[in-house]
Structure 1
Amino acid sequence: MAKITRITTQKKKKDRFNIFLDFGQGESYGFSVSEDILVKESLHKGMELDDGEIKALVEKDDLQKSYSLAIHYLSYRMRSEKEIREYLDKKETDPEQIEVIISRLYKEKLLSDQEFANSLVRSRIHTSSKGPLMIKKDLIEKGVSAAKAEEALTNYSFENQYEKAMKFAEKKLRSGGKKSFRQQIQNLQQTLMQKGFTNDVVQEVIANLPEQEEEDAEWQAVVYQGEKVLRKYERKAEGFELKQKVKGALYRKGFQIDEIQRFIEEYVVEE
């Protein structure tokens, strides 16, 4: 048996207390506990503890410290169960204590993968240009089940997806003036799919894009690309061969044949 000889407040952590014990050979530091455990277990000077009781107190205090870590981790934002487990594991929390903490967090309604998924979806809708498929991938990587991810994505309506995809598409087209309109559309479709938008949304966006109103914009793109092609081929070919090379190169870039022909007539000088 050991007797508690002193209880002192830690200098840097006023809510923690050092317990000094005497095993019959003089006083020495025994262990430390939180204020909560000190009060709950009625620890006081002169109290006797056996080895089992000391071990149990240390384990309770470790559990309380790990639980406090989890609460602190949750204070920044909602977390998935997987995130909490990984965080506590990095903090070298005993696996059995992790299970106890996870159970307690669920019981106290501080942990819910469904609420976490709902929150993340709402956040992504307002802060990113990701489509639902990409968001679902994010959720699954964070340990959320496919079923809960699908449930959360009901918050991301088709109308919201269309609006976000269309806004991105219009911005993308405005910045792609040096490419043919057809090539811009092809690139846009690919980018929207990569961002996680479904084919239905992508096709709806493409179908409702405003017609290219300014023919001059397409013409300027033809000129820009055509001059690059000319510089590439004019030292290697001339006449009919040069025209064919320019035509082929511009056609592969997605320009219409009438625009290409206009460029040939205006810019490719007959020898």
Structure 2
Amino acid sequence: MQITKIEQGKKRQDRANVYIDGEFAFAIYLDILVRHGLVKGQDIGEDRINQIIREDELGKAYDRALRFLGYRMRSEKEVRDKLKEKEYQDFVIDEVIERLKKNKFINDSQFADSWVRDRTNLKPTGKKMLELELKQKGISESIIINVLSRIDKEDEFELAQKLASKRKFEDLAPEVRKKKITDYLLRRGFGWDVIKEILKEESVNE
């Protein structure tokens, strides 16, 4: 088999179309073309073609992952799920993930820190909710324990107290008010230990 034509892509100028024996064979990134030294008139075997196509598939998957990471920080699971959604093969996904880790584009510890910080600033929730959200993002148990251990119990209590006070439960009967506060704080991801302290304070203030 012989390369009979190489032309730059019309829509994407970072890619090249390669023709073999007069017919379009494949499209690849220009850097792969240069790295393999492909030129018109060159003989090429099937094994080498497969190797080049494999490298190009990795390049496309890596670019897709970088675009996905461009919107906000992502967990490893989020990136894996996105690439699976685009139907990349498992070995391609594994190699892309390793490359992203090596280049420090994904780091689950940093992601967990950022997630907790952003949630605290933008939409405060209790540790139980944060734990659930991080698990859904595929964060390991050890990382979750580490990042949530930095949240002081007193700070969480004050946050729950502040959120509950905004709900205007003061005019309700005591038992109704306590139930409303309990249900609300449970929905916001606070644990029973925090809620009990809030209810204890409510009883003192009755």
Is this a same-fold pair by TM over 0.5? yes
Superposed CA RMSD in Å reads: 1.9
Return the match for 1:145 from 129, 140, 143: 140
Q: Which 5+ residue runs of structure 1 have no aligned equivalent? A: 213-271
1:181: which partner in 2? 174
1:98: which partner in 2? 93
Q: Does 1:21 align with 2:20?
A: yes
Q: Which 5+ residue runs of structure 2 have no aligned equivalent? A: none
Question: Take 1:65 and 1:180, find their aligned partners in 2: how far apart are those partners?
Answer: 62
> How much has 1:208 moved relative to structure 2?
4.2
> How much has 1:188 moved relative to structure 2?
0.3
> How much has 1:149 moved relative to structure 2?
0.9
2:165: which partner in 1? 170
Within 5 Å, which residues of 2 pair with 1:70-219? 70-172=65-167, 174=168, 177=171, 179-208=172-201, 211=205
TM-score, normalized by length of structure 2? 0.91
The percentage of counterpart residues that share the same residue type is 33
Question: Take 1:160 and 1:70, find their aligned partners in 2: how far apart are those partners?
Answer: 37
1:9: which partner in 2? 8
Runs of 4+ in 1 over 2 A off after TM superposition: 154-160, 198-212
Return the match for 1:39 from 18, 27, 34: 34
Q: Which structure is higher in RCO with an 8 Å CA cutoff and minimum separation 6?
A: 2
Amino acid at match of 2:133: D
Looking at CA atoms only, which structure, 1 or 2, has the larger radius of gyration? 1
The alignment partner of 1:48 has SS state of: coil
Amino acid at match of 2:181: L
Report if the CA contact (8 A) 1:185-1:206 is conserved. yes
> How much has 1:4 moved relative to structure 2?
1.6
Can you list the C-alpha shifts for 1:101-149, whole angstroms capped at 9, x where unaligned? 1111122121222111111111111111310011101111111122211
Question: Take 1:156 and 1:18, find their aligned partners in 2: how far apart are those partners?
Answer: 55
TM-score, normalized by length of structure 1? 0.70
The alignment partner of 1:49 has SS state of: coil
Report if the CA contact (8 A) 2:19-2:25 is conserved. yes
Question: Take 1:32 and 1:112, find their aligned partners in 2: how far apart are those partners?
Answer: 32
